[in-house]
Structure 1
Amino acid sequence: MASRVVKGGPALTEYLNAAKSAEPLFGDLQKHVLEKALKPSGRRQDVLHPSEMVKPDWCHLAAFHRLRLEQEPAERKKTNFTRENIFQEGHQTHAKWQRWLAEMGRLAGDWLCHFCGTEFWAETTPDRCTDCSAPAECIEYREVPLNAHPLRIGGKADGYSPHDNALIEIKTLGLGSLRYERPEFLERYMVETDTFGKLPDLTRLWRDFRRPLPSAVRQTQLYMYLGVHFEDLDIDRTVFFYDFKSTQETKSFTATYDESYSEPLIDAAQAIVDCIAADTAPFCNVNGRAGCTSCLEFKETR
């Protein structure tokens, strides 16, 4: 059998460490997951992704280069087994909530027939394929496409309920997310223990978690803008379902549609598209002429 090879890069150390695992099967499993992660993701590189646009450090110059080159960011290769495990847990959480909503007939979006390969839109859970009449068991939910073709923006929401005029966003909350986005909130619930030093009081923390994380709100506001202006969807809010990783408890929140969140991002996307048409690169909006980590990555490869 041919040997498996992972090319050098940020994930190589993680791959080599997996080979040293005391349990060979566990080591082989880790290597298998990392090999899959380092393959091209299949994610479109010819569009601006809302998840990237809403980040505080979104670089317009890097977006310009990526759209022209259709090149996957190097960040994709900076992974490890823990990170991939987190991604898979997120996928499973999405599938769980989407299945329940589909069972209720409250889930619209794209659906894929695995029997004939047809992808079709349905306002409620289909009982058969619209093309080949394959039964519901052959049909998989493929979420809600949200595209602004003139602005080269493309993304997907986790769900859409026409009955509720609402997009659906499914989130998992872990301590890492809080540490990154709301460190002051997390610190408020850290308590000193005799044996393990500072640990979070999970009960009080979850009790007082009363609104979605800021990045989730920004992203869903952009999703709603795309849905209203480019996809002709009846939307006036987003419903969030949050799973707390530490205890498996759940909460729901609502964000009302507010165009003011998205207008600066729409203007930025238009400026990037105009720069591509004019074949003139924009300045780095993060660090000026010096450039930032994101756009300097493309400078090194040109």
Structure 2
Amino acid sequence: MASRVVKGGFALTQYLNASKQPEPLFGDIQKHVLEKAMGPSGRAQDVLHPSEMVKPDWCHRAAFHRLRLGAEHPDRQKPNFTRENVFAEGHRTHDKWQQWLVEMNRLAGDWHCLNCDETFWWDERPEQCHACAANRRCLEYAEVPLNAHPLRIGGKADGYAPRENALIEIKTLGLGSLRFERPEFLARYEVETEEFGKLPDLTRLWRDFRRPLSSAVRQTQLYMYLAKHFEDLEVDRCIFFYDFKNTQETKSFTVAYSESFSEPLIEAAEIITDCVLADVAPLCNVNGRVGCASCLEFK
């Protein structure tokens, strides 16, 4: 079987570093993970992703180019083993919470049949595939599709609890997330040690973590808008389940739906969609005619 080709640059450096590990098997695992990450992401390129739309620096012009070309953004994050390990741990956390809700018959959404590859919606755990009648051991939960096809918006929520009229979002919290999104909060709990310098007081930090990170709240507000207006789901809130990576403790938060938050994003999606149909790029909303780093990458 032909070996995979690893392109040069940052990716090649990471791959070669894995080859230098003192334990060969550990190095082989790293190379295997990096090879998988270097392939196509599998992320749809012909839709606007809510996770991108809610970012403060979301560039309408860059979104136009990506939709028009159907290609991944040139500035896609470069793979490294640590990041892929974080992603894998996040997937395991999702699986755990979703499985508990499935066992309680409290989770609705799409179900994917491993036998016939069909996907269908069901309001609780189905006993068999609705296409080929394979038993439920062949079925896996495929989350909640949230699409606004006329606006080319597409995403997925982690779950939907019909009895609660709530979307479900499952998150892991680590020091890296706090360092990026709420550095002032993290700094409040750092204590000076003689041997290791500044270290966070994890007990007090987790005790005082009382609301979801703002990026997650923005994204779920848009998810709820899509659920109500385009997917005909009864939704008035989002329930967050948080796992604290450092101690494995958990918390839950509830965020109420606010219609007004998503309206400017929906208007922007309408403009971008119209521009794609007319094949005329919109102005960069971040830096006007000059353009920003995001849309200039497409030149």
The alignment covers a number of residue pairs equal to 299
2:119 matched to which residue of 1? 119
Q: Which residue of structure 1 lines up, in the alignment, with residue 62 of structure 2?
A: 62
Distance 1:10 1:294 in 2: 20
In structure 1, C-alpha distance between the alignment counterparts of 2:20 and 2:75, rounded to whole Å: 25
Deviation by residue 1:27-85 (Cα, 9 ceiling, x = unmatched):
11111101100100221100000011111111111100000001012343512000000
SS, match of residue 10 in structure 2: coil
Matched, 1:107 2:129: no
- Please say if residues 110 and 119 of structure 1, whose CA atoms lie closer than 8 Å, have aligned partners that are also in contact: yes
Deviates more, 1:128-137 or 1:179-188: 128-137
Write the mapping of 1:82-231 to structure 2, written as runs, cut at 5 A: 82-231=82-231
Tell whether the 8 Å contact from 1:165 to 1:234 is kept in structure 2 after alignment: yes
For 1:77 and 1:24, how far apart are their aligned partners in 2?
Answer: 27
> Corresponding residue for 1:269?
269
Counterpart CA distance in 1 for 2:167 and 2:9 is 38
- The answer to whether the 8 A contact 2:75-2:297 is kept is no
16-25 vs 236-245, greater mean Cα deviation = 16-25
Q: Which residue of 2 aligns with 1:29?
A: 29
Query: Any idea what SS the aligned residue of 1:7 has?
Result: coil
Q: SS of 2:21's equivalent?
A: coil
| SS in structure 2 of the partner of residue 62 of structure 1 | helix
Unaligned runs of 5+ in 1: none
- Cα deviation code 1:205-250 (max 9, x no counterpart): 0000000000000000000000000000000000000000000000
Counterpart of 1:283 in 2: which secondary structure?
Answer: coil
Aligned to 2:256: 256
Query: For residues 98 and 4 of structure 1, what CA distance do their matches in structure 2 show?
Result: 35
1:45 aligns with 2:42: no
- Alpha-carbon contact 1:9-1:77 (below 8 Å) kept: no
Aligned amino acid, residue 73 of structure 2: P
**Which amino acid counterpart does residue 145 of structure 1 have in structure 2?**
P
Identity of aligned residues (%): 75
**Residue pair 1:190, 1:199 contacting (<8 A) in 2 also:** yes
Cα shift readout 1:137-185 (whole Å, capped 9, x = no counterpart)? 1100000000001110000000001111000000000111111111100
CA contact (8 A) 1:11 1:77 kept: no
What amino acid maps onto 1:290 in structure 2?
V
Output the CA distance in 2 between the equivalents of 1:231 and 1:9: 43
Q: Which amino acid aligns with 1:123?
A: D
2:7 is the alignment partner of 1:7: yes
Opposite residue 199 of structure 2, the aligned amino acid is L
- Aligned partner of 1:68: which letter? R
RMSD: 1.1
AA aligned to 2:202 is L
